[in-house]
Amino acid sequence: MLEPNLSELRVMDYTACLQKVQAMDSRGDFSYKGVYKVLLVIFEWTDKFLQNKVLPNTEQIERDSSIDRDRTETYVTDLCFRQNPPILKKLNVLEFHPNETGDPENPKTFLKHNTVFARPTTSDGGTAFRYALGLNELSANAIKSWFTEKRKYVGKEKLKKIIKSAVDSNRLFDTYASTEIGNLFQCPYDKTKPQKDSTIIIHLKPILKQLVDWKILFFFRNDKASRPGNKSVFIYNVPEEIADRYDAYVDYVKTTIHPNLHKMGVVGDITEDSWRSPKSILTEILGYLNESYGDQKSLVEECLILNEIIEKDREREEKHKRKQQVEDIMAFLAEAGRIVELNQLRVAGEPITDEFRAQLLSQPEILYAEYADRKIYNEFILHKGCIEAAIDSAKRNFALKKADLEIRVLSLMNVTVHLGEEGPKRILEEIESQSLFPFLPFFTRLWRMIVGSQTVYKHEIPPIRARLQQQLNKDLATQKTIKLAQEKERIVKARVKEKEEKEKESKTIAKQSSDEDGDSEPVKSGSPEEEKKWKESMDEIVKILDEAWEFGVFPDREYVLSKMNGKYTEDNLIFFLKKFGGKEIYSYPIRNQREKYPWPILVSSSYLKKNGKKLLDKVKEESDKQRAEKFPNQEKFDIAESQLDFLNRILPRLKP
């Protein structure tokens, strides 16, 4: 927020300023004739500010003082900027005009800037703090009204184009909301940098902070940015727009930055699936970008920050969503009035996941039991609030169908521990006793049926339960083994299918690479003079590279630029090599030595054809030597291994 003790808000003491302006007005040359009246007009408006929240602009001062416009502007400029400390304080305010016509995507259509002036009273203690604070509140409310009522989003596709154009021009900060709002505070009285900085400190920064507090703007820091304008990033706090900006950043990396690095041989091919979670890709690419890449580097840095923010938001939303889904399932179970098969539960129409299952079973109100026979394996759950209703359901089903599954499951859940009343306990014991009758010895059952007493005595129940539990344990083990075998088979099939898809994709990429190699011959589609000039430039570059290799130097593009004596800029050289290098110049990176060798090493095909085998033998020897050393030289080993990998890949493809 605005600091009350800012030096930018200090003004001259009221009594001293009156004496000063009176003296100016009474000068013999009449150059300040009427300036005292201008001061009094501004003071009268300032004195009423607490009631009406209005300060005068030059039009209002001209009207009230009857001093013409030119002299009015001269006087206020002098009193604001040429006195130390200033007599008047120039301030800024934004006004919302909802009925204006124009471009709805441009905030200047509805938000109008107004320059006003204040002469603090004796009670202000020589500062314009409360007037700046009041105007900032008006401006922030105006922006809030515009944002909620009139602002129109440009859309995802247009945003992509805007960001691409901005990055290509090294003006990514132009796409920030802070820049758009800052442009509204362009004051005609701010002629010098200190004056412009004062407006930013007094108005723009406090207003941006207020908008962040109101959640109209979203703010994050990019401390790695090379330019101050890219360190503080303010964007509109609309989830859709933040996601679109992130997608636009990823799209730029995917279509512009990655292809350029790929052609230089720095990074490899990236599958489409990998771009769906591109954090590792972005981290790798950022390692190859230095300050010379300008806003391309800033874009990748911001993309990584947004990736982390979006992933955290998604994780938070997922947790909230899962919590709500658990609550919905719990509400269903509380109303079910019976035991429920776990595998029959559905969330958004889909079977529950293992993670959701674990979260559901961890709820203290849930009772759980496994049940199996020789044919099936089931998992059952029951809400503790439904125990009595579940006992009634089990009693009805046993009476109607002689189905004892619910009774067995309730017994496994030991529901009687959670019952406070004796009535439901006795009901469950009674129906369980009846359901155990078929498990008595054959002749015992036959005799009791003859005498009309189909009951099970209390002393007979424990051994029957033990036998049933023993059989249940066997059935559970059998069914779990079957289930595990089925799951393994499913995983194997999925992996085989995934492997087949990857092999198919690799073949497609290899074919595309082969096609690209076939098309990468030097382009010769110009006049004879142009073709001659291209050939001369290529011959010169090849000569520079060959000489470097002869002297044991590993040349990169910076080395070539230094030898070309300003003939090419870095961008022009890269473009020339991409377009005309073809199979005449190859490149490869030095692994693990990015600081010393930030760019790929360049070598001509002619040099490789002539010295390739000798070079291969040399690097093999160096690689073996370093491997055999007790304390190997890491740099030499990395250079040798990088060359070895490159030569093994390229030499077989070179035609003698």
Domain with residue 55: its CATH number is: 1.10.10
Average pLDDT over residues 202-206: 96
Average pLDDT over residues 400-428: 84
Dihedral angle over CA of 122, 124, 126, 128, nearest 10: -130
Q: How high is the pLDDT of residue 656?
A: 58
472 within domain boundaries: no
pLDDT of residue 426 exceeding 90, the answer is no
Residues 6+ apart with CB under 8 A from 506: none
Q: How high is the pLDDT of residue 524?
A: 45
User: Are 260 and 369 within one domain?
Assistant: no
pLDDT of residue 130 exceeding 50, the answer is yes
User: Are 246 and 306 spatial neighbours (Cβ–Cβ below 8 Å)?
Assistant: yes
User: Are 235 and 376 within one domain?
Assistant: no
pLDDT in tens, 100-113: 988 889 999 999 99
Q: How high is the pLDDT of residue 213?
A: 96
Peptide bond into 85 cis (omega under 30): yes
User: Are 599 and 619 within one domain?
Assistant: yes
pLDDT of residue 142 exceeding 90, the answer is yes
Residue 81 binned pLDDT confidence (cut-offs 50, 70, 90): very high
Per the model's pLDDT, the better-predicted residue between 511 and 376 turns out to be 376
473 within domain boundaries: no
486 within domain boundaries: no
* Cα 152 to Cα 96, 107, 159, 343, 621, distances in angstroms: 15, 9, 12, 47, 66
pLDDT in tens, 493-544: 888 877 777 666 555 544 444 444 444 344 445 567 767 777 888 888 888 8
User: Are 201 and 208 spatial neighbours (Cβ–Cβ below 8 Å)?
Assistant: no
User: Are 235 and 174 spatial neighbours (Cβ–Cβ below 8 Å)?
Assistant: no
Strands 377-383 and 340-341: antiparallel
Q: Which of 12, 4, 6 is nearest to 78 (CA)?
A: 12
Average pLDDT over residues 606-614: 86
Q: How high is the pLDDT of residue 17?
A: 93
pLDDT in tens, 539-561: 888 888 888 888 788 888 888 88
Per the model's pLDDT, the better-predicted residue between 135 and 102 turns out to be 135
Instruction: Compute φ and ψ for 425, nearest 5 degrees.
Output: -60, -45
Alpha carbon distance 461, 503 (integer Å): 62
pLDDT of residue 287 exceeding 80, the answer is yes
Q: DSSP assignment, residue 172?
A: G
User: Are 298 and 161 within one domain?
Assistant: yes
Strands 340-341 and 232-236: unpaired
Q: Is 404 helix (H, G, I), strand (E, B) or coil?
A: coil
For 201, the token pair is: 């400190």
Which residues lie across from 378 on neighbouring strands? Answer: 371
Planar angle of CA 260, 264, 269, nearest 5 degrees:
70
Last residue of a domain, one of 117, 132, 150: 150
Q: How high is the pLDDT of residue 447?
A: 77
pLDDT of residue 427 exceeding 50, the answer is yes
Alpha carbon distance 161, 504 (integer Å): 34
Sheet harboring 366-372: ordered strands across? Answer: 340-341, 377-383, 366-372
Q: How does DSSP assign 553-611, residue by residue?
A: ----HHHHHHHTTTSS-HHHHHHHIIIIITTTEEEEPPTT-TTT--S-EEEEHHHHHHH
Planar angle of CA 150, 156, 162, nearest 5 degrees:
90
Last residue of a domain, one of 414, 443, 458: 458
Q: Which of 113, 131, 123 is nearest to 42 (CA)?
A: 131
Average pLDDT over residues 570-582: 75
User: Are 69 and 162 within one domain?
Assistant: no
Identify the H or E element spanning 219: strand 217-221
- Residue 364's domain comprises 337-458
Q: Would you call 571 exposed, middle or buried from its count of C-beta atoms within 10 A (0-12, 13-18, 19+)?
A: exposed
Residue % of the chain over a pLDDT of 70: 94
Number of structural domains the chain divides into? 4
Identify the H or E element spanning 497: helix 461-518
User: Are 364 and 268 within one domain?
Assistant: no
Q: How high is the pLDDT of residue 521?
A: 41
Q: Which of 75, 81, 53 is nearest to 141 (CA)?
A: 53
Alpha carbon distance 87, 22 (integer Å): 12
User: Are 181 and 307 within one domain?
Assistant: yes
32 within domain boundaries: yes
Q: How high is the pLDDT of residue 503?
A: 67
Alpha carbon distance 498, 273 (integer Å): 12
User: Are 443 and 551 within one domain?
Assistant: no
* Cα 29 to Cα 81, 87, 239, 453, distances in angstroms: 21, 21, 63, 132
Residue % of the chain over a pLDDT of 90: 42
Q: How high is the pLDDT of residue 98?
A: 93
Which residues lie across from 235 on neighbouring strands? Answer: 218
Alpha carbon distance 90, 86 (integer Å): 9
pLDDT of residue 655 exceeding 70, the answer is no
Alpha carbon distance 160, 255 (integer Å): 12
User: Are 537 and 640 within one domain?
Assistant: yes
User: Are 20 and 97 within one domain?
Assistant: yes
Planar angle of CA 80, 179, 214, nearest 5 degrees:
95
Identify the H or E element spanning 354: helix 354-361
474 within domain boundaries: no
Instruction: Compute φ and ψ for 94, nearest 5 degrees.
Output: -105, 140
- Helix count and strand count (H, E) for the chain: 25, 11
Residues 6+ apart with CB under 8 A from 472: 371, 372
pLDDT of residue 272 exceeding 80, the answer is yes
330 within domain boundaries: no
User: Are 4 and 131 spatial neighbours (Cβ–Cβ below 8 Å)?
Assistant: no
Average pLDDT over residues 315-327: 90
pLDDT of residue 443 exceeding 80, the answer is no
User: Are 170 and 270 within one domain?
Assistant: yes
User: Are 413 and 284 within one domain?
Assistant: no
500 within domain boundaries: no
Lowest-pLDDT range of 38-47, 87-96, 269-278: 269-278
User: Are 35 and 24 spatial neighbours (Cβ–Cβ below 8 Å)?
Assistant: yes
Last residue of a domain, one of 458, 482, 500: 458
Cα dihedral 344, 345, 349, 350 sign? negative
408 within domain boundaries: yes
Q: Is 542 helix (H, G, I), strand (E, B) or coil?
A: helix
Alpha carbon distance 123, 151 (integer Å): 40
3-state helix, strand, coil in the chain (%, to 5): 65, 10, 25
pLDDT in tens, 64-74: 999 999 999 99
